[in-house]
Structure 1
Amino acid sequence: MKEVDGQQNMETVRKWRASWRYPTTILCIYGFFSTVKPMEPFLIPYLMGSDKNLTAEQVNNQVFPVWTYSYLSVLVPVFLLTDWLRYKPVVVFQGAALFITTTMLRWLTSVPAMQAMQFFYGVVTASEVAYFSYIYSVVDLKKYRKATSYCRSVQLLGYTVGSVLGQLLVSFDLMSYNNMMVLTLGFTSIALLTSIFLPMPRRSMFFHRKHPGQKAEEAAECTMASPGEVKGGNMEKRGQIEEKTGKDDTEDLERESAVAQTCGKVLLQVWRDSRQCYSSRQLLYWSVWWAVATCGYNQTVNYVQVLWEHVQPSQNFTIYNGAVEAVSNLMGAATAYGIGFTEVRWEQWGELTLGGFSGLGSAALFLMTFTSNIWICYTGYVAFKCLYMLLITIAMYQIAADLTMERYALVFGVNNFGALVLQTIITSVVVDSRGLGLGIISQFTIYASYFSVIAAVFSLRGLYTIWRVQRSKDSKKLQITDCIHHK
């Protein structure tokens, strides 16, 4: 009986590992511990305090710009390597780079060392593409949206837990900043170890596509299966097929396919798919807003702690950066979640909504820039972040409506790459000490004005769209009336 029970338990474990739940669970654990960063809301006070002794000009104009340049320079190579290596190695590499970043931040002090730290953090950010792309390669399409929502929710939970934990440690003076960095390093180590247990995918979007013979074999299996078995999930069928055909044969086919499909062919395929996707004007307009607004949002989030330090120096005030980040994350998530239950004809009112709420975001940024009250500054930041989360969610819904999952991943990447290019231009001209090297107030004045331009352009475009739709309706009514009178 014990042997039978043992065999049944092993069979249960094997089925669980072959299902979509196992990789999703491991990836969620990794996502949680990699985002629990108690020190992140207090990075500027840490760098400008007695531990690192950097000046505001060094942090703002010399250290932080390196992240943007690093992110842009490695994004495309990392994207191609992610697909070529089939995701898992890049997820593990991301965990290792995050570990190196945290270690450098804890034990090194000079400006060049902090610039190197920002370079590694740019690699961490660029490797984020592997985190969500991984799910696509091991989870059936029917479960992809659910698995993605779990991973995103767990990341948000990690950021929130880290912010709250950091705030409690600072408010009650339970740990020094250096010890909080060691605690963050512990969470990062757990994430790195967890990533090793991810199963290795057998396919990817471009380099390691399914072999036609394998697709036909899976289709035959699905045809012969009963309805109950079909509902059981494609992951189990895929495991059965691989056991029948043999792992060696599958790996040989994948190796031949990968060699035949060169990097140049993949780039050509990406170019063709992109042209086809952006041939839709509606998708193009939403994507333009996505890129330009995400650029402004990233600049704001990256440098907001410098603004807070300017409004209220941390030496004279018990700062609440962690609490503000936690509240903004939770409210942003609630706003994004609530928009899913709103019935609006976005194809008609969407562009005007983008313009109007971008204008409110601009007003929040102007308020943050010119106030001398830290609480007003905090409130403006929460409002700005909620407005962005609301609009980016609408944009994602609209873009995803008419795209396959592969095309959506491509458009998502292209839009973010466009945002990063714009961000690099703004950073090099406005922030970098080799450019204008502006102070934080001048920077945020530019960011607020930037969103004002976005608001004006999309509001005008939205009014034109509404006028055109209304004119089309009136024209149809007139045609119907003419037909009735003619009869």
Structure 2
Amino acid sequence: MEALRRWRADWRYPTTLLCTYGFLSMVKPLEPFLTPYLTGPDKNLTTEEVNNQIFPVWTYSYICVLVPVFLLTDWLRYKPVVVIQGISFFITTAILLWTNSVPAMQAMQSVYAVVSASDVAYFSYIYSMVDAKRYRKATSYIRSVQLLGFTVGSLLGQLLVSFDLMSYSNITLMTLVLNAIGLLTACLLPMPQQSMYFHQRAHTGQTTVTEGRQRHVDEAVEVAEHTSRSQVSPQEMREGKVKKPEEKEDETGKGMVEVEDLEESVGEGTCSKALFQLWRDFRQCYSSRQLLNWSVWWALATCGYNQTVNVQVLWEHVEPSQNFSVYNGGVEAVSNLLSAATAYGIGFAEVRWEQWGELALGGFSGLGAAALFLMTFVGNIWVCYASYIIFKCLYMLLITIAMYQIAANLSMARYALVFGANTFAALALQTIMTAVVVDSRGLGLGIIPQFTINASYFSIISVVFSLRGLFTIWRAQRISKEDSTIPVKTSRL
């Protein structure tokens, strides 16, 4: 019993449970074949109903529940929202298995939007349960098992379909069982005692309110002393950017926060004060121009990517599943593994992203647009598969760079806030595009016009950020030349 208590108190216990839940929730063997399942004899829906009436509901529902779920996640301290996500997974699969009508599938998409919005609880839970020194290791674990789960699910689905071992309905039933096991695992998670905003003053057995306040003040004084001793560049002297010793540079690298403000931020954990602190953090984060630029690309590109992930309708248009042995699961598995390898490899690249980052965003976005144009107009299923793999790898590469640049100088709490804000901005843009282009109550365009618009959208992103990147490089070179022409005064003995 003593060994069991020690294990439950160790950081590996909640991490293992969360990883198990993440793996089981991402093993979705039917997902790569969702469109063939809905348009096949099991559900007997048309491609137009799936594309123009069912899939848009997810976008509308997602943007409606994202902010409430984000606030509830912090207020309820993560675990209840993770459990709600597990329940929503189960309900989504059950509706998909036992109903057939368009309204029922629309309800399924609405419930799945809650699953998507609850991801913030899944990724934030672990930071309230482990020490800061364990953040990187715990994060790598929970992200890796999600990747592994999705890959295993895609490969499993491909094997079951290719060798005709299970029907689509039986695959859905197997997914339902996995969802039930995952839900049970989520219920076993220990309950956190604190959160980022609403419960940040709770006593954890290690840090009291007074100790937390003193730590904030000590950190402010330490940074102030370091700032007063730091060397100031000629450019900063010319532009008057020298900070006073009593000021502490905000974690975004731009905003200034007084020592007294830091002390006042550790107050009573009321709802109004928590919301005020959240709003102040939001303003300070986006006061950084560099962070704002990366966030704008994040929102624009994620909007376009979400519009493109329903690529199965294009594959079904190019090569109907009734006439062709589909390999959607294999393609998803390969694209996921290559995306992970690409994202991992970029971490070893020695690049000055603050100077070359925007040009990279523009150039690679242009390659993604070319892949989308190729996938749209060639009309060959194998070209579509290859183009999708290239497009997804490019997006995952760039979003990894953007996440790293944004998170580099942010605290974990503020990273979650910026992540949520950028996701909301992307969903707002996606809602507009869906309502105008995809929804049957709007233009209700066909598959080819939709993907043509998506490719053109990424082309515009490419042009904007390429021009911005060239301007950034030109300005950096000009400043460097000006600094090199400043005469250095030498004292005479």
Per the alignment, residue 36 of structure 1 pairs with: 27
Work out whether residues 96 and 108 of structure 2, in 8 Å CA contact, stay in contact via their aligned partners in 1: yes
* Deviation per residue, 1:357-392 (Å, 9 max, x gap): 000000000001111110000000000000011101
Question: Partner letter of residue 344 of structure 1?
Answer: V
Q: C-alpha offsets along residues 189-217 of structure 1, whole Å, 9 cap, x if unaligned?
A: 11011111100001111111125871446
Q: Give the Å deviation of 1:444.
A: 0.5
CA deviation map 1:138-168 (0-9, x unaligned): 1111111211111011001000000000000
- Please give the per-residue CA displacement for 1:339-369, whole angstroms capped at 9, x wherever unaligned: 0000000011000000000000000000011
| Cα separation, 2, equivalents of 1:77 and 1:406 | 17
Q: Name the counterpart of 1:378.
A: 385
**Which residue identity is paired with 2:186?**
S
Number of aligned residues: 437
Please list, as runs of the form range in 1=range in 2, the aligned pairs for 1:370-449 lying within 5 A after superposition. 370-449=377-456
**What are the Cα deviations for residues 301-342 of structure 1, in whole angstroms up to 9, with x where unaligned?**
1x2000000011001100000000000000000000000000
Give the whole-Å Cα distance in 1 for the aligned partners of 2:432 and 2:480.
43
Q: Which amino acid aligns with 1:113?
A: A
Q: AA paired with 2:463?
A: A
Judged with a 3 Å threshold, the aligned counterparts in structure 2 of structure 1 residues 384 and 61 are, in CA distance, closer, same or farther, namely same
* Counterpart pick for 1:102 among 81, 93, 118: 93
> Which residue does the alignment assign to 2:273?
265
Which runs of 5 or more residues in structure 2 are unaligned?
215-266
SS at match of 2:71: helix
Residues 36-56 of structure 1: CA deviation (Å, up to 9, x unaligned) = 000000000000000001011
For 1:332 and 1:438, how far apart are their aligned partners in 2? 30
CA offset at residue 270 of structure 1?
1.6
Query: Partner of 1:202: helix, strand, or coil?
Result: coil
Q: Once the two structures are superposed, what CA deviation does each residue of 1:263-308 show, in whole Å capped at 9, x if it has no partner?
A: 443332222111101111001000100111011111111x200000
Stretch of structure 1 that moved more, 324-333 or 84-93: 84-93
Structure 1 residue corresponding to 2:102, chosen from 95, 98, 111 = 111
Deviation at 1:483, TM superposition (A): 6.2
Whole-Å separation in 2 of the counterparts to 1:217 and 1:284? 34
Does the residue aligned with 2:350 lie in a helix, a strand or coil? coil
Cα distance in structure 2, aligned partners of 1:99 and 1:211: 33
Q: Give the match for residue 146 of structure 2.
A: 155
Indicate if the aligned counterparts of 2:86 and 2:186 stay in contact, CA closer than 8 A: yes
Distance 1:217 1:211 in 2: 12
Cα distance in 2 for residues equivalent to 1:429 and 1:335: 34
265-274 or 172-181, which deviates more: 265-274
Amino acid at match of 1:114: M
Distance 1:53 1:371 in 2: 28
- Separation in 1, partners of 2:3, 2:473: 57
Letter in 2 for 1:299: Q
Q: What do residues 15-59 of structure 1 show as CA deviations (whole Å, max 9, x unaligned)? A: 221121100000000000001000000000000000001011100
Deviation at residue 420 of structure 1 after TM alignment: 0.9
Amino acid at match of 2:17: I
Q: TM-score, length-normalised on structure 1?
A: 0.87
What is the deviation of 1:479?
A: 2.1
Aligned to 1:195, the other structure's residue is in SS state helix
Q: Is the 8 A contact 2:200 2:269 kept in 1?
A: no
Residues 381-431 of structure 1: CA deviation (Å, up to 9, x unaligned): 000000011101111111111111111111111111111111111111111
Structure 2 residue matching 1:210: 3-state secondary structure: coil
1:214 lines up with 2:208 in the alignment: yes
Matches within 5 A, 1:459-470: 459-470=466-477
Q: Which moved more, 1:379-388 or 1:468-477?
A: 468-477
Does 2:67 correspond to 1:76? yes
Matched position secondary structure for 1:296: helix
Q: Which runs of 5+ in 1 are unaligned?
A: 1-9, 221-258
Say if 2:458 is the partner of 1:451.
Answer: yes
DSSP-derived class of the 1:479 partner: coil
1:307 corresponds to which residue? 314
Per the alignment, residue 123 of structure 1 pairs with 114
Displacement after TM superposition at 1:13 (Å)? 2.0
Which residue of structure 1 lines up, in the alignment, with residue 336 of structure 2? Answer: 329
Question: How far, CA to CA, are the matches of 1:269 and 1:479 in structure 2?
Answer: 43
Give, as a single letter, the amino acid of the residue that structure 1 aligns with 2:6: K
Task: Kindly report which structure 2 residues correspond to 1:164-175, keeping only aligned pairs within 5 A, or say none.
Answer: 164-175=155-166
Judge which range, 10-19 or 78-87, deviates more: 10-19
Query: Counterparts of 2:429 and 2:444 in 1: how far apart (Å)?
Result: 17
Residues 26 and 280 of structure 1: is their aligned pair in 2 closer, same or farther, counting only changes over 3 Å?
Answer: same
For the structure 1 residues 219 and 470, does the alpha-carbon distance in structure 2 shift closer, same or farther, using more than 3 Å as the test?
Answer: closer
Cα separation, 2, equivalents of 1:359 and 1:476: 34
Question: Which residue identity does 2:79 align to in structure 1?
Answer: K
Correspondence for 2:290 = 282
**What RMSD, in angstroms, separates the aligned Cα atoms of the two structures?**
1.9
Written as runs of structure 1 = structure 2, the 5 A alignment for 1:39-78 is 39-78=30-69
Q: Tell me the amino acid that sits aligned with residue 283 of structure 1.
A: L
| CA contact 2:372–2:455 (8 Å) conserved in 1 | yes
Q: Which residue of 2 aligns with 1:360?
A: 367
Aligned counterparts of 2:213 and 2:276: Cα–Cα separation in 1:
29
In structure 1, give the amino acid aligned to 2:149: G
Give SS of 2:22's match. Answer: helix
| Structure 2 residue aligned with 1:296 | 304
For 2:12, the equivalent position in structure 1 comes to 21
- 1:473-484 equivalences under 5 Å are 473-480=480-487
SS in 1 for 2:103: helix
CA deviation profile, 1:240-282 (whole Å, cap 9, x unmatched) = xxxxxxxxxxxxxxxxxxx964444333222211110111100
The one-letter amino acid of 1:468's match is R
CA distance in 1, matches of 2:86, 2:410: 31
Q: In the aligned structure 1, how far is the partner of 2:372 from the partner of 2:272?
A: 43
Name the amino acid aligned to 1:297.
Y
SS at match of 1:37: coil
Counterpart contact for 2:15–2:138, Cα < 8 Å: yes
